[in-house]
Amino acid sequence: MDENEAFEYVKSTLKKEKITPYHSDELEIVKSIGACINCGLCINHCPVVASVGLDRFSGPRSIAVELSRSPPEFWATADKVYLCTGCGTCREVCPKNVNIPEIVNIVRANIFEHRPDLVPKGLMIVKEIIEEHNLAFEPWEDKEEKEESRDMRLERLGIPYIPDVVKENAEVLFYPGCQAEERAQEVREAAKAILDYFDVDYTLLDEFSCCSLPSHLMGDAKTARNLAHQLKGKVKKLGVKKVVTTCAGCTSNLADLSVRDEWGAPAYHLLEYLVEEIGFEKLADALKKVAKPNDVHVSVHDPCHLIRHTSRQVMEHALNILRLMPGVRVTESVEHDNCCGGGGMVSFHASEVANSVVQENMMALEKTGAERLVTPCPLCTAQIENNLFKSGSSIEVDDLTVFIAQRLPKKE
Amino acid sequence: MTDSKFDVVVIGGGSTGTAVARDCAMRGLRTLLLERDDIASATVGTCAGMISSGLKYRDEPDIMKMCSTEVVYWNHIARHIVMKNPILAPLLDLSDAASDSSYMESYSEHVEERDVPAMMFLTPDATLEIEPMLHPEIIASVYYEEYFIDPFRLCLLQALDARNHGAEIRTYCEVIDFEINDKQEIEGVIFYNRVFGTTERVTTKLVVNAAGPWAHKVAKSAKEELHIRLNKGAHVIFDRRIVNTGITVKAMDGRWVYLFPHENTTLLGTTALDTWEDPDTLVASFDEIEYLLQSMETVLPSIREARIIRTMTGVRPLVPDFKVPERNVTRGYRIVDHGENDGTKGLLSFLGGKLVTCRHMAEAVTDLVCEKLGKDIACTTHEKPLPGNEDDVDIIALSKEYDISLHALERMRARRGTEMLKVLEMTKEHPEWKTTICTCEPIIEAEIRLSIREEFPQTLNDLRRRLRLGTGPCQGTFCTYKAASILSEELGLAGDDFLVDILDFRAERWKGIRQSMRGEQLAQEELAQGMYACVGNLDQSDVDYDLKPWEEGH
Amino acid sequence: MDLETDLVVIGGGMAGLIAGTIAAEAGLDTILLRKGQSATAYSSGAIDVIGYLPEASEPIISPEEGLFALSRLYPLHPYNVLGYDKRIEFEKVMENIVGRTKDTVTWLKAHLDGTIAPLMGDFESNMHPITILGTTKPTCLIQKTMHNGDVQDREDSVLLFVGIMGYADFNPSTAAKTYLEDRMAAAGPPRKVGHCIIQVMPFGKPYNVSSIELARHLDHEGSIENLAEQLKEHIEQIGATHVAFPPVLGLQDALKNKEKLEELTGTTVFELLGFPPSIPGQRLQRALETIFTKAGGKMLLGHEATSYLKVDDNLKSITAASPRREIKIDAKAFVLATGKYIGGGIAGDETGLRETVFDLKPVTGDYHSAMEIVPSRFTSRLSISPTGQPIQSCGLSVDPRFRPVDEDGLEWAKNLFAAGAVLAGYNYSVEKSGLGVAATSGYSAAKNAIEFIKEVA
């Protein structure tokens, strides 16, 4: 056997023994898991354990000390690992910051490769959509209908429509993310309105494509790498200096990709961009100009991908911006930073789990007396909105980007 | 004193002793196995479980052939506890390969019957893709495959199978004397029951001494001199599978050391030091740990960043070849028939041998026993499966049927094969026994209760050998007190004994943790002290705790 | 975006949160970084001050007496650092130690009153709560839910240990046996002890039930009534006067739940001291966080101090990293309360120990350098014994103002104070002194930091 045949042979043996060699960029994560001392603090804080119990979801510590120890047996974790919403609460409370959310993705990737039959069907459907459209959601069939829907939303919300701009060498690439691109179009448009208002030199992608997070989360490592590669090409071609997004998941994922794939352009959430680049002074000036603001009592939901995967400071920015708004009163709910259940692709195959996670948030929200919930993530918005609607609550939910755009004056 | 009659008494509950008891029982002999401690509590319980192709012993082609044949048998009779490890021997310079090229041929002679490929070379790129932790400057690697067996379950299954065939298995029974008549024939064996503190006697004319590193001491009780070469070997154990394949490398002294994924851990071994110490007192030394780490570091530079959870130490009972390094001592075995040389008639002692050949050794000695008893019964130990090996198990279906996690069931299957159904059956009446007790392995309560009822453990440490209790990253920090409660309930122990069981198991775990204490083990131990000393106040407990052999002199 | 504040506390356990609360209450702008939760959240939720002198086998009757003894016998124990202050006459050192500790205990009790972890007990006598193993341990303060009333005083007391089906963290039959044997040896009540298993199924299954789901479940309306209903039969069967539960009586309403159960069953109900992941520990952690934020402190969760800027003798700023961002925080003073090995304040490998934020120089329990020690050589051959594991006494050496010192005995920075398990010179597991040292050193470190900031101003 020559060396190439030998390698092929060895690879087939590894496949038979269900061994997927760790990539070198995964070794740091694997090492982090080795720090677990099995204390179980994470169990006391895991929102999924709180919602469905330890028997159904054995909790983060079991992922560290039990389920992630032996790759040939990763297939046998399929009844547990897909229930993790990837909220990162475990990692945040863990004295050792054991990187559970990422090891979950590695385990899922192994199952995806060796036992696709054990991957929840709901995820496989998403996988097909992504493969076909480079998007996490089925796109609109009729472009005109999509525009009509957009215009109706903008009219209802009172947000001006700014035509799309695509150009090279702009300062900022605005990346709306799949949800805002296809579903919550008002978020995409609101962001454009905000950027336009502050005269930011920005561009959109010529052709939008998914940031790869959904593929990464379901374990489709190959597609995830392809999508990341595609996006890098687009960012490089445009020659932007910064990437700004309105989606929490995209924020943390793009931040990773821009470092890993050496984009040369850091990625931020729009909130960070507003506070750090536009500044409170300009923001305050603009927000105060609104002639007769409606008084509104709001509460806030902190998206996991912002607070626990990026930085808690991002929500400080959000609160500080809200405080600048005349007529806006904020009451924080005790569960403001509890996962909404919408993460980790759980809602795509076990919606009952995702929906039971959000119940705590909803109960706490009702107690605040707020009439509106704002959150800087279109996915959290959708998850909470749907569940509030189902429960017959009168509380409305807005993406924070939309909420800000609504409270900006008309551009002079 | 009780008095019962046996055709043969086997001394030692290691791989050889249990294999002999099984063979004798299967051939219809009235068989008693006496073990001073627990099944697999010494040498075999500290090995890597490799049922080796005999690669290291290529100067002994007969042994290599024997190893290969035995591997085929194990895959037939115990496949539920056998797994295959792909192995890489990375080369940093050509001399690594050139000085030793004959092994490729020797290894490849018997590959087909074992269903593995011939050894092959891999390019550096291919090697690094398989194992990215390897040194980036390797020039090539040699690839081969070996089989591994769960050494604890193997011994226990042999013992249980022996019992199923009528043998009596007595653990915690230490042979203290032999009754020998004027004709220098053995008439009886006297032993001390360590659980009840009583002395017992049995009648037999034949004794198989498979006491491993204590074989010479057993022989001495019959006033026989047995020369043996005792050699200490230590392993360092990591918390999980830290490598994708096994890695072997030449150590600084030219020996081969290895890093093998083993169940859900990784073992780094071994050292080889001639020893005259009491095997019970031995622990790994700082030098041994460094020898292993530094040797492996040459090809796997990041090995120190991985989490070491403990060390384990055992003693090889080698045949008495002296004036050669340990690695040149034959891995063949000898059966010393003391009566043949004007010594005690009826005493047969084992020297040497390997895990992989334990069945072969048993067959040979049982042939001899039968001959002495004037019986002509064929050996069937290579044909008849060990308990649990009967069929495949559909884990996914069982998980749905019993509402127990897939992984808990998969781990149970790796221990019990089809016998796991007995455990599951218990949960029908007691659904609460589906509760996970050891979270690292994991192990559910029903399996602990079944093991206590049917597999004669006396301590938590015995349960560890049967179930891998407390062998994970936390080293029993969280299962010790839970399992101790269950043991206490099942055995009807007093409260003090419950606390002693906790202290005993902490002591046993600490024996291996302490030597390699570093990194996260510091935090793990802070936690364990916080639980058992600070909250449980067990450091102040006034129970009757017997110092362990390795604790004495404190 | 950079931040500016008066005081930065690094570490969010008992020591850090008390330091932060004291500072915030004194009007300082205080930011507390918490990398993760720590030993406080694991703890049984009782506050040990001093239970045993090092290597002694008789429990200490009262923390007051213990501290007096400690100050004479172990002058370098962190408690004793409390006593040394250049403005204090030598004769008053002992009084000062006791006084400051007592102040801390009083402060803590007062502040946690009305939170989800109200405390009881006092400085004049240690209490002896029962653990889930059936053993007892000396401790200074317990959460009110752990109060076992007169079970050991009343001649006719009968104690029932209650387990929950499928909840593996507590086995009532072994605890009952162990406890009864202990009481028989002491020839004191209770002379009758029983045990039972009841069913509480937060998710409809009698297996793999966890502490947290039980605690949350018992906070729900109706759960306690159901529990009481099940208990009645068992209580009547043995005539129980007292009922011991694993520590899961509630996360928010544990005390209310205890009182309600007492009312419904006519017995004294209490929680045992348990192991991690402990609910009372969780309650304590949350309560401490609540008083800190109420005092105006700002918590920065998920942030780890990764680097710092020091100019001459002053620490100017630290950089705090979250998973994907970094911020620089300027402050006038800093408190280091990062814990030991669990908290990660001290780390080590086979070549020695190191302090993880400022690379300060750790020492052993005897105050020799621990920078090049082999950890295994600072262990005892016995796993669990009154000697404990000497490696657990390693940490930082501090000056009388709780400032970490260099090898030459001088403070490393004028404005860095240390508190809690990061300190050397005590082994909390065997002394039973963990949260007490954390609280008092946190209290003192904060007072010193406040004083320093005032001096500079």
The closest of C192, C183, C270, C191 to C238, measured between CA atoms, is C192
Q: Boundaries of CATH 3.40.50 in chain C?
A: 130-272
Residues in chain B within 8 Å Cβ distance of C180: 495
Averaged pLDDT, C80-105: 83
CB B14 within 8 A of CB B287: no
HSE (CB half, 13 Å, CA atoms) of B251?
Answer: 19
Question: Is A146 an 8 Å CB contact of chain B?
Answer: no
- Alpha carbon C86 to its chain centroid, in Å, reads 29
| A132-276 and A290-406, same CATH topology | yes
Q: Which residues of C touch B445 (CB under 8 A)?
A: 168
Q: Distance between CA A301 and CA A358 in Å, rounded?
A: 11
- What value does the mean pLDDT take over residues C208-219? 98
Q: Cα–Cα distances in Å, from C124 out to A328, B287, C64?
A: 53, 51, 6
Contacts of B530 in chain C (CB under 8 A): 39, 42-43, 276, 342, 428-429, 434
Task: Scan for tokens 């993310």, then name that residue.
Answer: A177
* Mean pLDDT on B525-533: 98
* CB-closest option in C203, C327, C342 to A53: C203
Report the C-alpha gap between C103 and C443 in whole angstroms: 9
CB-based contact A313 C1, cutoff 8 Å: yes
Residue-level pLDDT at B282 = 95
- Token reading at A199: 């005269």
Task: Specify the amino acid at residue C222.
Answer: G
Q: What percent of chain B has pLDDT over 70?
A: 98
Both tokens of B293, joined, read 């780490």
CA distances from A56 to A78, A350, B443, C1, C207 (A): 12, 12, 16, 42, 10
| Residue B541 to residue C135, Cβ atoms within 8 A | yes
| Closest residue by Cα to residue A220 from A351, A128, A132 | A128
Average pLDDT over residues C9-22: 98
pLDDT tens digits for C351-387? Answer: 999 999 999 999 999 999 999 999 999 999 999 999 9
Interface residue B456 vs chain C (CB under 8 A) = no
* Contacting residues of B for C274, CB less than 8 Å apart: 535
Q: Do C325 and A311 touch (CB under 8 A)?
A: yes
DSSP lists the bridge partners of residue B122 as B141
Of the pLDDT bands very low, low, confident and very high (cuts 50, 70, 90), residue B99 is low
Q: Is the pLDDT of residue A264 over 60?
A: yes
* Strand ordering across the sheet containing A202-203: A202-203, A172-175, A242-245, A267-269
pLDDT of B53 higher than 90: no
pLDDT in tens, C237-248: 999 999 999 999
Average pLDDT over residues C294-300: 97
Sort strands C158-164 and C242-245 into parallel, antiparallel or unpaired. Answer: parallel
Confidence band, pLDDT 50/70/90 cuts, at residue B100: low
Type of residue at C26: A
Nearest Cα neighbor of B200 from B391, B38, B1 is B1
In this predicted structure, the answer to whether residue B408 has a pLDDT above a threshold of 70 is yes
A176 neighbors A188 (Cβ within 8 angstroms): yes
Contacts of A313 in chain C (CB under 8 A): 1, 300, 322, 325, 327
| Among candidates A69, A77, A96 on the partner chain, residue whose Cβ is nearest the Cβ of B241 | A69
First and final C-alpha spacing in chain C: 26
- Mean pLDDT, chain B, whole residue set: 95
Domain boundaries, chain A: 3-119, 132-276, 290-406
Which residue among A3, A38, A70 places its CB closest to the CB of B264? A70
Per CB-CB distance under 8 Å, the chain B contacts of A9 are 117, 120
Would you call B154 helix, strand, or coil by DSSP?
Answer: helix
Task: Give the residue from C395, C401, C389 showing the smallest Cα distance to C368.
Answer: C395
To the nearest whole angstrom, how far is the Cα of A54 from the nearest Cα of chain C?
6
Helix/strand number for chain A, H first, E second: 21, 8
As given in the structure block, the two tokens for residue B96 are 């690594």
> Domain spanning A132-276 has what CATH number?
3.40.50
From the candidate CATH numbers 3.40.50.2000, 1.10.1060.10, 3.50.50.60, 3.40.30.10, the one assigned to the domain spanning C3-114+283-456: 3.50.50.60
- Contacts (Cβ under 8 Å, ≥6 apart) of B479: B437, B438, B439, B440, B443, B469, B470
pLDDT in tens, A13-28: 999 988 888 888 899 9
Whether residue B435 lies within 8 A of chain C, CB to CB, comes out as yes
Residue with tokens 């064996």: B189
Return the exposure string of A70-107: e unless at least 16 CB atoms fall within 10 Å of the residue's CB, then b.
bbbbbbbbbbbbbbbbbbbbbbbbbbbbbbbbbbbbbb
CA nearest A317 in C: which residue?
C1
Q: Determine the residue of chain B that is closest to C385 in CA distance.
A: B539
Do the Cβ atoms of B523 and A19 come within 8 Å? no
pLDDT beyond 50 at B156: yes
Taking CA–CA distances from B508, the nearest residue in chain C reads: C383
On whether the pTM is more than 0.90, the answer is yes
Instruction: Give the closest-approach CA distance of B398 to chain C in angstroms.
Output: 17
For B445, the token pair is: 């309560």
Strand partners, B5: B203
CATH node for C130-272: 3.40.50
Find chain A residues with C-beta within 8 A of C286's C-beta. Answer: none
CB B440 within 8 A of CB A62: no
Kindly report, residue by residue over B244-295, the tens digit of the pLDDT.
999 999 999 999 999 999 999 999 999 999 999 999 999 999 999 999 999 9
pLDDT of residue B104: 79
**3-state DSSP assignment of residue C28:** coil
Instruction: State the alpha helices, DSSP H only, in C9-75.
Output: 14-25, 39-42, 63-73
In this model, does residue A8 exceed pLDDT 60? Answer: yes
Give the separation between CA C345 and CA C357, rounded to whole angstroms.
7
Q: Which residues of A touch B307 (CB under 8 A)?
A: 34-35
Helices C434-456 and C14-25, packing angle to 10 deg = 30
Q: What is the pLDDT of residues A191-220, one digit of tens each?
A: 999 999 999 999 999 999 999 999 999 999
Q: What is the pLDDT of residue B17?
A: 98
Average pLDDT over residues B390-399: 94
Contact C374 B286 (CB under 8 A): yes
Q: Looking at residue C168, what DSSP letter applies?
A: T
CB nearest B538 (choices: C342, C384, C391): C384
Mutation target to probe the B interface, by most B beta carbons within 10 A, among C179, C207, C387 is C207
8 Å CB contact between C224 and C218: yes
Mean pLDDT of B104-114: 84
C210 touches chain A (CB under 8 A): yes
Q: Which residue has the higher pLDDT, B93 or C225?
A: C225
**For residues A296-304, average pLDDT:** 97
- Chain A and chain C share a number of CB contacts under 8 A equal to 106
Chains with ≥3 CB–CB distances under 8 Å to C? A, B
Q: Of chain B residues 403-422, which have a CB less than 8 A from chain A?
A: 403, 405-407, 409-411
The pLDDT of residue B106 is above 90:
no
Which of B236, B504, B535 best tests the C interface by mutation, with the highest count of C CBs <10 A?
A: B535
Q: What does the pLDDT look like over C380-419, one tens digit per residue?
A: 999 999 999 999 999 999 999 999 999 888 999 999 999 9
State the pLDDT confidence band at B1, using cuts at 50, 70 and 90.
very low
Hey, CA dihedral for B388, B390, B394, B399, is it positive or negative?
Answer: negative
**Do B91 and B138 contact (CB within 8 A), yes or no?**
yes
Name the minimum distance, in Å, from the CA of B139 to any CA of chain C: 31
Omega before B270 within 30 of 0, i.e. cis:
yes
Any chains having at least 3 CB pairs less than 8 A from chain B are: A, C
The answer to whether B488 contacts C349, with C-beta atoms less than 8 Å apart, is: no
Considering only the beta carbons, identify the residue of C137, C348, C384 that sits closest to B506: C384
Peptide bond into C190 cis (omega under 30): yes
Chain B residue numbers touching A73 (CB-CB < 8 A): 264, 407, 410-411
CA distance C281 to chain A (A): 10
Alpha carbon distance C438, C422 (integer Å):
9
Residues of B in contact with C422 (CB under 8 A): none
- Confidence at residue A156, expressed as pLDDT on a 0 to 100 scale: 95
Residue C198: phi and psi, rounded to 5, are -120, 170
pLDDT in tens, B192-223: 999 999 999 999 999 999 999 999 999 999 99
Please give the distance of CA A130 from its chain centroid, rounded to a whole number: 16
The pLDDT of residue B353: 92
Confidence (pLDDT) at C380: 96
Block residue for tokens 């005690």? B344
What separation in angstroms does the CA of A236 have from each of A241, A242, A244?
A: 10, 11, 15
The secondary structure of chain B in percent helix, strand, coil, rounded to multiples of 5, reads 45, 20, 35
Question: Reduced to 3 states, what is the DSSP secondary structure of residue A46?
Answer: coil
Classified as helix, coil or strand, C98 is helix
Determine the topology of domain A3-119 in CATH. Fumarate Reductase Iron-sulfur Protein; Chain B, domain 2 (1.10.1060)
pLDDT in tens, A34-65: 999 999 999 999 999 999 999 999 999 999 99
pLDDT for B324-337, tens place per residue? 988 888 889 999 99
On average, the pLDDT of chain A sits at: 96
Q: Where are the alpha helices (DSSP H) in C82-222?
A: 93-112, 172-186, 211-219
User: In whole angstroms, how far apart are CA C47 and each of B535, C242, C269?
Assistant: 11, 23, 20
Q: What is the pLDDT of residue B349?
A: 98
Indicate whether C342 pLDDT > 80.
yes
pLDDT value of residue C86 = 66
Q: Could you give the C-alpha distances from C169 to B272, B446, B482, C235, C344, in angstroms and in order?
A: 42, 16, 7, 22, 26
Q: Which amino acid appears at position B529 of this protein? A: Q
Which residues in chain A touch residue B440, judged by CB atoms under 8 angstroms apart?
38, 65-66, 69
Residues in chain C: 457
Token output for C393: 């006494």
| Type and span of the H or E element at A259 | helix A248-260
Res. B519: pLDDT tops 90: yes
B515 lies within 8 A of chain C by CB = yes
Spelled out in words, what is the top-level CATH class assigned to the domain A290-406?
Answer: alpha beta
Residue of A28, A31, A39 to mutate when probing chain C, most C C-beta within 10 A? A39
Instruction: List the domains of chain B with CATH numbers.
Output: 3-43+152-228+331-373 (3.50.50.60), 85-146+229-313 (3.30.9.10), 395-540 (no CATH)
The three-state secondary structure class of B207 is strand
pLDDT, position B97? 62
Amino acid type, A290: V
| d(CA A111, nearest CA chain B) in Å | 13
